[in-house]
Amino acid sequence: MSMDKVQIPWTDSDGKPGFWGALHSLPRRVYHSVFRSRPIPANDLERSQAVAANFFFHLHSAKVQERTLRFKTTLGLGLLSLYTFVILVVTGILLMFYYVPTPVEAYDRMLDLRGAVFFGTFLRNLHRWSAHAMVGLVFLHLMRVFLTGAHKAPREFNWMVGIVLFLLTLLLSFTGYLLPWDQLAFWAIVVGTSIASYAPVVGDELRYVLLGGDSVGAEALLRFYVLHVAVLPVVLTTLIGLHFWRIRKDGGLAKPREK
Amino acid sequence: MLEDKPTYERFPIRPGKTYGLMCVVPTATEATKIETEKQVHAWPAALTRELALFVLTLVILSVVALLFNAPLEEPASRLHPPNPAKAPWYFLGLQEMVAYSAFWGGIGIPGLLVLLALAAPYLERKPGGEGVWFHSSRSAANWVFLGIVGTLLVLTAIGTFFRGENWAFVVPW
């Protein structure tokens, strides 16, 4: 912990300066400037540091209950939901390179994905099936949490965040549904948004704001596109961060009481 | 070479800082006062499992994407409405309810269900049964929950498979 261990820059590990020594230690310096632990931790202290000192791992505690790792405890559904979202972000960004959100161009771009873009069909397929999978997996995760009583105190708030995440997942899927601009997409959104107009007092206004007009047209396509690729993913990602943070703050996964 | 430890401190301590985070916490945290179960290091036990699950997810979805093409119908045309026009599958339960009552099916019941879901942990106040599947002390809550989920699934299935022209009941086989 003392400061006298700090190595003076451009000396070799014996403390002697020299060009070759410096060159020799360069890879190690670069590695340890990025990672604070060795690639394969050798003892429990280093295993703890490997988790705590890594930006991507640090939302884990250094040690976890063995129980929470058993498949039966969660069926992996929360992670599966996250993974489908990650796949959707990656494939979605790649699709954005090809897609144009106008009624004139959108459908042609779908045909391009099928006929002219390398792996375009696979990209669109993977995005579409992952989206359906995410809706299902998030709902199954919601069911798992309720049926294991994991929504009860002290996890009430995280349960509510989870409900909002589920609704956002539906909205993300719904806004993406319009983008191919084929008959299936168009009429599904006509039907879906007409449900919004059944809301009392503000129903028609709500639908007007959603569509940017009285019917599904160019403005609606643009609005759904912006919601789908910018607004909703940012909100969802932020709330996912809050959701994970609260798991730790609420004491980890719900655990059975002592008998 | 990378196995070598760095010769400097991994996390230099600021000389002026005289306390660690735990020093300013007056009591044990929620997690630490109940720690008796067997624990394992997150590295590698949790991280390898998480990586394996991701690879599995990616492989399965990739295989599905290779085998089944995403649907693409004719270009959108407001002059040719399909009969029936259907919402995405996860809203077909709503659309089925809308067929009975526009307000209650599309707004009223879904709104109440969302409010009920948000309020669930505050309504179910009695502690017990956490972290256990289908715990006997929670059977009433679980049956109400499964009843609602089952009803929604049945409505969704009807809307998806059993509704034809003009939303008339049809048998898909």
Inter-chain contact B74–A182, Cβ cutoff 8 Å?
yes
d(CA A241, CA A82): 11
Supply the pLDDT for residue A193. 92
- Cβ-contact B121, A159 below 8 angstroms: yes
d(CA A139, CA A45): 38
Tell me how many residue pairs between chain A and chain B have CB atoms under 8 A apart: 264
Supply the pLDDT for residue A240. 97
Hey, which residues 68-97 in chain B have their CB within 8 Å of chain A? 68-78, 80-82, 85-91, 94-95
**pLDDT higher than 90, residue B100:** yes
Q: How far is A219 from chain B (nearest CA, A)?
A: 15
Residue-range domain boundaries for chain A: 3-52, 66-249
Nearest Cβ partner of A64 from B42, B85, B127?
A: B42
d(CA A220, CA A43): 57
- Cβ-contact A256, B132 below 8 angstroms: yes
Of A11-20, A247-256, B95-104, which range is least confident?
Answer: A11-20
User: A156 to chain B: which residues are within 8 Å by CB?
Assistant: 121-122
Inter-chain contact A148–B46, Cβ cutoff 8 Å?
no
Inter-chain contact A149–B131, Cβ cutoff 8 Å?
yes
C-alpha torsion sign, points B123, B125, B129, B135:
negative
Inter-chain contact A195–B95, Cβ cutoff 8 Å?
yes
Supply the pLDDT for residue B14. 65
User: A64 to chain B: which residues are within 8 Å by CB?
Assistant: 39-42, 45-46
% of chain A beyond a pLDDT of 90? 64
Residue-range domain boundaries for chain B: 89-125+137-167
Residue B154's pLDDT band, with cuts at 50, 70 and 90, is very high
Looking at residue A257, what DSSP letter applies? Answer: P
Nearest residue to A127 via CA among A93, A81, A102, A157: A93
Residue A227 vs residue B3, higher pLDDT = A227
Can you name the CATH fold of A66-249? Cytochrome Bc1 Complex; Chain C (1.20.810)
What are the CA-CA distances from residue B30 to residues A154, A247, B22, B25 (Å)? 10, 12, 13, 12
Identify the three-state secondary structure at position B166: helix
Residue B172's pLDDT band, with cuts at 50, 70 and 90, is confident
Q: Is the ipTM, as predicted for this complex, more than 0.90?
A: no
**pLDDT higher than 90, residue A244:** yes
**pLDDT higher than 60, residue B108:** yes
Residue A3's pLDDT band, with cuts at 50, 70 and 90, is very low
Inter-chain contact A163–B114, Cβ cutoff 8 Å?
yes
Q: How far is A97 from chain B (nearest CA, A)?
A: 19
Residue B28's pLDDT band, with cuts at 50, 70 and 90, is low
- B169 at interface of A, judged by CB pairs closer than 8 A: no
Nearest residue to B82 via CA among A191, A86, A206: A191
Residue A9's pLDDT band, with cuts at 50, 70 and 90, is low
Nearest Cβ partner of A152 from B31, B36, B124?
A: B124
Residue B36 vs residue A57, higher pLDDT = A57
Q: How far is B173 from chain A (nearest CA, A)?
A: 22
Q: Which of A8-22, A78-92, B3-17 has the highest mean pLDDT?
A: A78-92
Beta bridge partners of A17: A11
**pLDDT higher than 70, residue A166:** yes
Inter-chain contact B62–A126, Cβ cutoff 8 Å?
yes
Reported as a single tens digit per residue, the pLDDT across A185-200 is: 999 999 999 988 888 8
Identify the three-state secondary structure at position A213: coil
- B17 at interface of A, judged by CB pairs closer than 8 A: no
Nearest Cβ partner of A153 from B41, B106, B127?
A: B127
Nearest Cβ partner of A185 from B76, B117, B121?
A: B76
